[in-house]
Amino acid sequence: MVAIKDVNPVQAAPRNEGVQAPPPALSVAGLTVAYGEKPAVFSVDMTVAQGTMTAIVGPNGAGKSTLLKAVLGLVKPLSGEVRLFGLALSRARDRIAYVPQRASVDWDFPARVIDVVLMGLHRELGLLRRVRPEHLDRARACLARVGMQDFATRQIGQLSGGQQQRVFLARALVQQADLYLLDEPFAGVDAATEKAIIGVLKELQAEGRSIVAVHHDLSTVRAYFDHLFLINTRAIAAGPVADVFTGENLQRAYGGRLGEAQLAGGTLTG
Amino acid sequence: MGAEFVALSLPPLLIGILAAVTCALPGNFLLLRRQALIGDAISHVVLPGIVIAFLLTGTIATLPMLLGAAGAALLAVVLIEGVRRTARIEAGAAMGVVFTSLFAAGVLLLEQSDTSGVHLDVEHALYGNLESLIWLDATGWASLVDPVALAGLPSELPRMALALLIVCLALWLMWRPLAIATFDEGFAATLGLPVRAIGLGLVMLAALAAVAAFDAVGSIIVIAMFICPPASARMMTDRLGAQVGWSVAFAILSAVLGYVAAGYGPLWLGFENSVSAAGMIATVSGLILGVTMLAGPRRHPAGLARKG
Amino acid sequence: MIWQALTLQLGYNATLVALGATLLGIAAGVTGSFLFLRKRALVSDAVSHATLPGIGLAFIVMVAMGGDGRFLPGLLLGAALSSGLGLLLIAWMMRRTRLSEDAAIGAVLSVFFGAGIVLLTVIQSMNAGRQAGLDTVLLGSTAGMLQSDALVIAAGGAVVLLLVLLLRRPMLVVGFDPDYAAVSGTNVGRIDLAMMGLVMAVTVLGITTVGLILIVALLIIPPVTARLWTDHALRMVALAGVVGGLSAYVGAAVSATAPALPTGPIIVLASFVLFALSMILAPARGGLALIRRQMRFRRRVHRRQGLLALAVGQTIHEPFTLALLRREGLARADGVPTDAGRAAAAKALLDEARWAALRADPAHGLSASRYDALTRIETVLTPDQIAELDRHLPRPRGVS
């Protein structure tokens, strides 16, 4: 395992807040986002403590991805406030990394795997600095971390879905962020990839970083995450998985569509 | 032969090459962003921009023309976006509404105004007049180092060279952000990149290329060079830098072969008159695209190529 | 003069031309609607530009055979053949190479047009070509149009309209949902082919009147204009026909009044005026209505959000929310609710709790799908149903 030097150690908290607790990795207040004239997310409050691993779960069309995109400033909310480590988004960009849905880009783009991973270094490199050997080394180390070291020079269109997802994760790893925001990282990937990704995420958490992932598979919530945020346009319930992952809460989130949840592999325990 | 070539053929050939390359460079990114037809739209709206600049200033000086055309391109982009959002229709239809209307307005203005004293008409706008850009002061290859003779070069040549220089500089500077924003706009935005400004900047760069080239060679070459050389290059490689390199090579090849075929082809076939060089350059670029589509090593989408 | 033109008093020929153009406009608007519904509006741009080499070749062939190069049916046939070839090439490029539709369209239109220009310069150097005036195919002209030409256009327009009428249902199904159409037994490929054939016919007919650069406007602008007024597909098609016909009629009539008023641009600008007015004024999807609805929606969201915050004793951060509640007398400047505000907040909270219960209950799947965080539950359920819901309501329950 290649050790990666931490640029922004989260563990250095509390910084200048005296004896106060560290600010939450993410806090959302009164967030409403609408597409056209239908709110996708309505008046949602959410807090993610540092060092936790949170799943955002809800039925299809419940606003999971929209919530994530609003947090990242990718969609403009009608109202509400988002803070990352107590800062506005524009001042916290160096501390966050985003893993979009795999299907959101055109994989026929002329680029190699290593090129995509190097995109994660853009904030460090800026406009003019060249990519140097140490940057390449870091990118390769991140590829190795997701088990893709042998694919560095492969054209991205030749990868399987699971491999594409790992490349996206490697691109986020190279950013060395404190908060990782992932949109459906396990959607349509093979079992080996799912295992590799969750392994890396658990390592990140062990390093003190925070993870928030949109997730759709109820059967793995308990095994993968320690916190759960249930949403269906409104926030339904939030907290440690052990407290929140209950039949009653899922019923409230999925309602008449609980069949859908069960189809997704949900095991409902009381 | 040498003197005649330098005076009559070298300047239009060089201008053709410069115009082709200037358009092909931003065309690569337009193609990857699925905005190839923005080039089509821009090259149409250049006409009203130039006509209005002429009506306001009464001359066909370069700067007002450039400003007028750039203003029209900007207006077109804003209108397309406005129509798309307000009417909630696909971008293609919004584009179709805007550029045809602006072009119609340009034609009408042109017909209504007295442009008899200047070289400004629809035909010229469409296919330029590459053949007429000759260098009367040239007496042979030696003129290339003769400052007096060089001063008599057609002004389109340095203008086009300047446009190419600006396009190269801008792409060199914006290469990485442009590539990231083109591949994954959402991720680019989370890096703090101004993705909308980058998109608009690319369109403005395309507009600059279109305006500069339009004056010398007409809008056919502009549209063809925005699309055909980058599309051909796409069939050759899976790397962005290599793609841009191939597109430049194809653009130069189109310009040279097209110019030669237009100027000498008919003579070889026994006709007296040459044919439109602009049209021929566009045609050659299409032939090159045809060849690369049939035989290019990367003509299939990457996913299919893997299986063979 | 213009009035005379509009009332068809400029003589037999001008009248015939205006009527022919009108029929063409109707046919273009109607045909373009199906293209627009299929989200392929700009394919028409390639179709029209790709006619040029066919026109040039047809002229050269007809002259070489000793005939009149300007024989309209011959030119139209050449135009149809080369634009058909262009369409086939676009389809092939999209299927067999990695190029997307926009690149295929752009490549075909620019290369065919370039080849056409080459042929035009060849024709100009031919003896028969000097006075051919083929440049009029670029921008169209009704000046000096032969009576027989006007009749060809009018008849062609009528035939296209008839065919559209016959094919409207399958074309609508394919435009709305091609996958469903394929599953339910419609031959999508053949319907698309028929649609493109009609588009080609309109383009070819429009070349002499509107010109090949601008005919695409007549296929795109009327459908987009009509779309702003209605969500009903067939009504939209009909309205597009009206817009197209009206634009073409006005354009042809006005341009007949003076030599410096080319027909094509006038027709396009007439349709653009109709479009611009619609985009601002249309009641359903126009800009003004859109802005008004968005502002109303924003107020509803903030009002509801503010009330829910008051109900659970939260402070209101957003200045806009607070201003809204103050204006309605629901809250004071310091954010403390008034009596009316307290009542409204309690009601909103109850509504929210009822909705939560409704959405958790599988029996109410259909009603629950109408949840948008703003609709009051009374508009979805009967009082009896609400009473039933209330019985199971755990109370008191604040949203934690």
Enumerate the residues of chain B whose CB falls inside 8 A of the CB of residue C275: 97, 101
* pLDDT of A250 strictly over 50: yes
Q: Give domain status of residue B305, yes or no.
A: no
- A18–B contact, CB cutoff 8 A: no
Residue A12 has what pLDDT? 38
Residue B88 has what pLDDT? 86
- A93–B contact, CB cutoff 8 A: yes
| Cβ atoms of C287 and B89 closer than 8 Å | no
**How far is the C-alpha of A145 from the C-alpha of C160, rounded, in Å?**
63
Q: Rounded to a whole number, what is the distance in Å from the CA of B175 to chain A's nearest CA?
A: 8
User: Nearest by CB to A110, which of B184, B191, B240?
Assistant: B240
Collapsing DSSP to helix, strand or coil, A43 comes out as: strand
In this predicted structure, which of A209-223, A250-264, C80-94, C175-189 has the lowest mean pLDDT?
Answer: A250-264
If contacts are CB pairs under 8 Å, which of residues 147-176 in chain B contact chain A?
A: 173-174, 176
- Number of domains making up chain B: 1
- Contact yes or no for B276 and C120 at CB 8 A: yes
**How far is the C-alpha of A68 from the C-alpha of A183, rounded, in Å?**
7
- Contact yes or no for C97 and B88 at CB 8 A: no
In this predicted structure, which of B203-212, C78-87, C328-337, C368-377 has the lowest mean pLDDT?
Answer: C368-377
User: Nearest by CB to A78, which of C298, C356, C364?
Assistant: C298
Fold that domain C2-259 belongs to in CATH: ABC transporter involved in vitamin B12 uptake, BtuC (1.10.3470)
* pLDDT of A7 strictly over 60: no
pLDDT, greater one: C303 or A264: C303
Cα B18 to Cα B156, B167, B205, B258, distances in angstroms: 10, 11, 15, 14
Enumerate the residues of chain B whose CB falls inside 8 A of the CB of residue C221: 96-97, 100-101
Give residue B154's pLDDT band: very low, low, confident or very high (50, 70, 90): confident
**How far is the C-alpha of A225 from the C-alpha of A201, rounded, in Å?**
10
Q: Give domain status of residue B68, yes or no.
A: yes
In this predicted structure, which of A75-84, B91-100, B124-133 has the lowest mean pLDDT?
Answer: B124-133
Chains near C, with 3+ CB pairs < 8 A? A, B
Chains near B, with 3+ CB pairs < 8 A? A, C
Residue C314 has what pLDDT? 80
- Contact yes or no for C272 and B97 at CB 8 A: yes
Give residue C225's pLDDT band: very low, low, confident or very high (50, 70, 90): very high
Which among C385, C382, C380 is positioned nearest to C369, based on CA atoms? Answer: C380
- ipTM, 2 decimals? 0.92
Residue B303 has what pLDDT? 52
State which residue of chain B sits closest to A159, comparing Cα positions.
B303
Q: Rounded to a whole number, what is the distance in Å from the CA of A216 to chain C's nearest CA?
A: 18
Strand partners, A179: A96, A210
pLDDT, greater one: A30 or A16: A30
Q: Rounded to a whole number, what is the distance in Å from the CA of B294 to chain C's nearest CA?
A: 9
- B90–C contact, CB cutoff 8 A: yes
Q: Share the mean pLDDT of chain B.
A: 88
Find the mean pLDDT for residues C126-142: 68
Q: What are the two backbone dihedrals, phi and then psi, of residue A55, each rounded to the nearest 5 degrees?
A: -100, 135
* pLDDT of C85 strictly over 50: yes
In this predicted structure, which of A163-172, B163-172, C326-335 has the lowest mean pLDDT?
Answer: C326-335
Q: Rounded to a whole number, what is the distance in Å from the CA of B275 to chain A's nearest CA?
A: 37
- Contact yes or no for A100 and B191 at CB 8 A: no
Identify the residue among A37, A108, A248 best suited for mutation to test binding to C, counting C beta carbons within 10 A and taking the highest.
Answer: A37
Cα A68 to Cα A77, A214, A260, C366, distances in angstroms: 11, 8, 22, 27
- A110–C contact, CB cutoff 8 A: no
**How far is the C-alpha of A48 from the C-alpha of A27, rounded, in Å?**
6
Q: Share the mean pLDDT of chain C.
A: 86
Tokens 């407290």 belong to: A243
Question: Quick count: other Cβ atoms within 10 Å of Cβ C168?
Answer: 16
Taken as a whole, chain A contains a residue count of 270
**How far is the C-alpha of C20 from the C-alpha of C13, rounded, in Å?**
10
**Residue A157, CB half-sphere, CA atoms under 13 Å: how many?**
20
* pLDDT of A13 strictly over 60: no
CATH 3.30.465.10 fits A22-104+178-263, yes or no: no
**How far is the C-alpha of A259 from the C-alpha of C363, rounded, in Å?**
12
Residue A2 has what pLDDT? 41
- A165–C contact, CB cutoff 8 A: no
Radius of gyration, CA atoms only, chain C: 30
Q: What share of chain B is helix, strand, coil (3-state, %, to 5)?
A: 80, 0, 20
Q: What digits encode the pLDDT tens for the residues B80-94? A: 999 998 888 888 899
If contacts are CB pairs under 8 Å, which of residues 26-55 in chain A contact chain C?
A: 29-30, 32, 34, 37-39, 42-43
Residue C252 has what pLDDT? 85
**How far is the C-alpha of B125 from the C-alpha of C277, rounded, in Å?**
30
- B95–C contact, CB cutoff 8 A: yes
- Measured at the alpha carbon of residue C317, what is the angle toward residues C314 and C322, in degrees to the nearest 5? 90
**How far is the C-alpha of A171 from the C-alpha of C68, rounded, in Å?**
67
Give residue A18's pLDDT band: very low, low, confident or very high (50, 70, 90): low
Give residue C131's pLDDT band: very low, low, confident or very high (50, 70, 90): low
Enumerate the residues of chain C whose CB falls inside 8 A of the CB of residue B40: 45, 106, 109-110
**How far is the C-alpha of A102 from the C-alpha of A40, rounded, in Å?**
21
Find the mean pLDDT for residues C25-32: 95
| Cβ atoms of B51 and B110 closer than 8 Å | yes
Give residue B212's pLDDT band: very low, low, confident or very high (50, 70, 90): confident
Sheet holding A227-232, edge to edge: A96-99, A179-183, A210-214, A53-57, A227-232, A234-240
Q: Rounded to a whole number, what is the distance in Å from the CA of C357 to chain A's nearest CA?
A: 7
Q: What digits encode the pLDDT tens for the residues C235-285? A: 999 999 999 999 999 988 888 787 778 888 999 999 999 999 999 999 878
Find the mean pLDDT for residues B221-246: 95
Enumerate the residues of chain C whose CB falls inside 8 A of the CB of residue B44: 213
Q: Give domain status of residue B135, yes or no.
A: yes
Q: What digits encode the pLDDT tens for the residues C340-360? A: 888 898 888 888 888 888 888
Sign of CA dihedral A98, A103, A105, A107: positive
* pLDDT of B224 strictly over 50: yes
State which residue of chain A sits closest to B28, comparing Cα positions.
A110
Residue A15 has what pLDDT? 46
Q: Give domain status of residue B236, yes or no.
A: no
- Beta-strand (E) ranges in chain B? none
If contacts are CB pairs under 8 Å, which of residues 101-140 in chain A contact chain B?
A: 104-112, 115-116, 119, 122-123, 125, 127-128
Find the mean pLDDT for residues B232-259: 96
> Where is mean pLDDT largest: A25-39, A167-181, C136-150?
A167-181
Q: Give domain status of residue B117, yes or no.
A: yes
Chains near A, with 3+ CB pairs < 8 A? B, C
- Contact yes or no for C320 and A43 at CB 8 A: no
Q: Rounded to a whole number, what is the distance in Å from the CA of C37 to chain A's nearest CA?
A: 21
- Contact yes or no for B87 and C285 at CB 8 A: yes
Q: Give domain status of residue B298, yes or no.
A: no
Find the mean pLDDT for residues C11-36: 88
User: Nearest by CB to A98, which of B174, B176, B187?
Assistant: B187
- Contact yes or no for A122 and B301 at CB 8 A: no
Give residue B255's pLDDT band: very low, low, confident or very high (50, 70, 90): very high
Which among B34, B70, B15, B12 is positioned nearest to B227, based on CA atoms? Answer: B34
Collapsing DSSP to helix, strand or coil, A238 comes out as: strand
Residue B54 belongs to domain spanning: 2-217
Give residue C19's pLDDT band: very low, low, confident or very high (50, 70, 90): confident
**How far is the C-alpha of C179 from the C-alpha of C185, rounded, in Å?**
10
Q: Locate A198 and state its tokens.
A: 């969750």
Identify the residue among C305, C308, C325 best suited for mutation to test binding to A, counting A beta carbons within 10 A and taking the highest.
Answer: C305
Find the mean pLDDT for residues B217-227: 89
Q: Give domain status of residue B256, yes or no.
A: no
- B239–C contact, CB cutoff 8 A: no
Find the mean pLDDT for residues B207-213: 87
Q: B-C interface: how many C-beta pairs under 8 angstroms?
A: 208
If contacts are CB pairs under 8 Å, which of residues 198-227 in chain B contact chain C?
A: 220-221, 223-224, 226-227
Radius of gyration, CA atoms only, chain B: 20
Give residue B152's pLDDT band: very low, low, confident or very high (50, 70, 90): confident
The amino acid that residue C151 corresponds to is L
For residue B7, what are the contacts with CB-CB under 8 A and spacing of at least 6? B134, B135, B136, B138, B139, B143
DSSP B129: -
Collapsing DSSP to helix, strand or coil, B271 comes out as: coil
